[in-house]
């Protein structure tokens, strides 16, 4: 299982390293620069509002299905027909729900129009993720790796043509960005559907109430967990836009989104770990195999990488923001510098949230595979409550920066609780040596960045590269990234062939 994990992690990381950073830091960033922070902030708050209710498109079915198909491949034919029908019905319910709640909190006119398109895109994404859960559950990781980048690849092509070829005649707006996503998701769904159909006998949607009730009952614990996690992961821009009056709310949401873009790039890669680990952990637990080695391996890889990134970002936050963003429209130099300073401050905090998020993806996935959903829901409720309370307190005082502190608090709290619960349930021995190595890696990375910035006189693109390199060297030297162990796991032996 460790060998399978590493081989497919290598493939999925390689493909995503090719595509997703270019999407987030290239195309999506360019859209932000073209339409401006207020217009992008308007879209960003609507998008995150729609995401709060994303679980009602799924009710936990995708996670349940991934785990179930991984353990019982023969159920694909039976479950695909019924669950496909449920997904369509949930799409209708979701559309009605977001419109009702959106209208209730004050969305009107252009906000509701944009919400309709964004909501449809969310439905397409949900259906795509469900189709991929079948493919992942069958352990077809190579195909799933390709599908994980297909939608973004298509968006890059479509939006890139509109932005850089003159087709849009310099009239590109945020609505065109949303329409491009619709086309990309539609094509991706059709490709994924063709793959699933190749492993099923037929496609026929039917009404089977007893089956629907059974699936939803089994999925509800997953649904509650995702709903709670969505609130503390995605509610920050919605609070900013709703709690701060007028255009300033859109601007603060835009400032937050500028910093969040880098976090989003990072957590996309952390999410890939959970996609691979959930079916592997599920199968190992069912077969009563020890999960400790795989857990330590995946945790060591992700925690060393996320810490190096977070510490480096802390020292180079303003330089990175200036590299990514430009003045918009009639914005003066002073206004631009103020916006960049605010985004940099938010960025420094959010990137340490990335470390906690990475921990959650590893330990939360293990606990999900072990079906510890009651405890996971309690932890998620604690995270959501802390996030909401801190947002309500801090946004009126320090605006976007307040939301970033609320996010850091919620993510750190849930990470600590997830680790504690995993140690308790699986009776792991707490690895103090591993913790020391992690802190030492962060120290070497931080001291390198600090000394280079103060004393080197070298241009920052070179010093940031040196900082990351020193962090990686420290991680390898301390065996957080253990080449010998990785090679041993990847080596095909007779036992693996059985």
Mean predicted confidence (pLDDT) in 456-467 = 91
Whether residue 279 contacts residue 137, with contact meaning beta carbons closer than 8 Å, is answered with yes
Candidates 254, 325, 216; CA nearest to 37 is 254
The two tokens of residue 413 are 């709290």
User: Of 218-227, 307-316, 392-401, which gets the smallest average pLDDT?
Assistant: 218-227
Tell me whether residue 468 is in a domain. no
Tell me whether residue 377 is in a domain. yes
What's CA 342's distance to the chain center, in Å? 23
Candidates 216, 221, 218; CA nearest to 374 is 221
Residues 25, 261: Cα–Cα separation, whole Å: 7
The H-assigned helical ranges of 105-173 are 110-137, 141-164
Tell me whether residue 306 is in a domain. yes
Tell me whether residue 442 is in a domain. no
pLDDT of residue 185 exceeding 90 = yes
* Domain hosting residue 255, numbered range: 2-430
Tell me whether residue 489 is in a domain. no
Residue 482 burial by Cβ neighbours in a 10 Å radius (0-12, 13-18, 19+)? middle
pLDDT of residue 471 exceeding 90 = yes
Tell me whether residue 447 is in a domain. no
Whether residue 250 contacts residue 5, with contact meaning beta carbons closer than 8 Å, is answered with no
Number of domains forming the structure of the chain:
1
Tokens 């206004």 correspond to 335
The two tokens of residue 389 are 């309370």
pLDDT of residue 210 exceeding 60 = yes
353-378 pLDDT per residue, tens: 999 999 999 999 999 889 888 899 99
116-152 pLDDT per residue, tens: 999 999 999 999 988 888 787 776 767 887 888 899 8
Tell me whether residue 474 is in a domain. no
DSSP secondary structure, 306-356, as one string: HHHHHHHHHHSHHHHHHHH----TT--HHHHHHHHHHHHHHHHHHHHHHHH
Candidates 44, 95, 98, 35; CA nearest to 239 is 44
Tell me whether residue 440 is in a domain. no
Residue 232 burial by Cβ neighbours in a 10 Å radius (0-12, 13-18, 19+)? buried
Residues 117, 121: Cα–Cα separation, whole Å: 6
């Amino acid at each position: 299982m460790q060998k399978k994990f590493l081989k497919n992690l290598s493939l999925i990381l390689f493909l995503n390293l090719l595509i997703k950073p270019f999407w987030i830091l290239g195309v999506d960033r360019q859209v932000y620069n073209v339409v401006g922070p207020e217009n992008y902030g308007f879209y960003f708050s609507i998008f995150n509002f729609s995401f709060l209710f994303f679980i009602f498109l799924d009710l936990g079915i995708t996670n349940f299905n991934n785990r179930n198909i991984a353990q019982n491949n023969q159920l694909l034919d039976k479950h695909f027909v019924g669950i496909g029908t449920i997904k369509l019905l949930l799409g209708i319910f979701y559309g009605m729900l977001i419109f009702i709640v959106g209208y209730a909190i004050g969305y009107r006119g252009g906000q509701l129009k944009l919400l309709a398109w964004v909501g449809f895109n969310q439905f397409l994404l949900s259906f795509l993720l469900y189709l991929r859960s079948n493919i992942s559950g069958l352990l077809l990781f190579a195909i799933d790796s390709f599908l994980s980048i297909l939608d973004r690849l298509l968006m890059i092509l479509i939006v890139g043509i509109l932005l850089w070829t003159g087709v849009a005649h310099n009239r590109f707006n945020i609505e065109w960005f949303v329409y491009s996503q619709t086309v990309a998701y539609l094509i991706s769904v059709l490709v994924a559907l063709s793959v699933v159909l190749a492993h099923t006998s037929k496609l026929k949607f039917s009404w089977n109430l007893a089956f629907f009730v059974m699936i939803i009952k089994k999925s509800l614990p997953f649904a509650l967990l995702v709903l709670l996690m969505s609130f503390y992961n995605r509610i920050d821009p919605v609070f900013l836009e709703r709690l701060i009056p007028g255009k300033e709310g859109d601007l603060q949401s835009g400032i937050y989104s500028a910093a969040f873009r880098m976090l989003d790039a990072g957590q996309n890669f952390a999410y890939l770990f959970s996609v691979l680990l959930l079916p592997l952990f599920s199968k190992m637990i069912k077969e009563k195999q020890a999960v400790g080695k795989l857990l330590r391996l995946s945790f060591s890889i992700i925690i060393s990488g996320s810490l190096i990134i977070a510490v480096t970002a802390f020292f180079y936050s303003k330089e990175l923001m200036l590299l990514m963003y430009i003045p918009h429209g009639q914005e003066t130099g002073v206004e631009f510098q103020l916006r960049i300073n605010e985004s940099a401050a938010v960025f420094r905090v959010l990137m340490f949230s990335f470390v906690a998020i990475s921990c959650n993806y590893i330990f939360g996935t293990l606990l999900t595979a072990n079906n510890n959903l009651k405890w996971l829901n309690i932890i998620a409720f604690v995270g959501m409550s802390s996030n909401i309370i801190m947002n309500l307190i801090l946004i009126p005082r320090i605006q976007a920066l307040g939301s970033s502190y609320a996010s850091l608090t919620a993510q750190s709290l849930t990470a600590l609780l997830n680790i504690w619960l995993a140690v308790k349930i699986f009776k792991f021995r707490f690895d103090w040596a591993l913790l020391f190595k992690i802190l030492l890696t962060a120290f070497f990375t931080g001291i390198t960045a600090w000394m280079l910035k103060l004393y080197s006189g070298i241009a920052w693109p070179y010093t940031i590269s040196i900082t990351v390199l020193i962090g990686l060297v420290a991680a390898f030297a301390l065996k957080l990234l253990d080449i010998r162990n990785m090679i041993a796991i990847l080596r095909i032996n007779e036992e693996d062939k059985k």
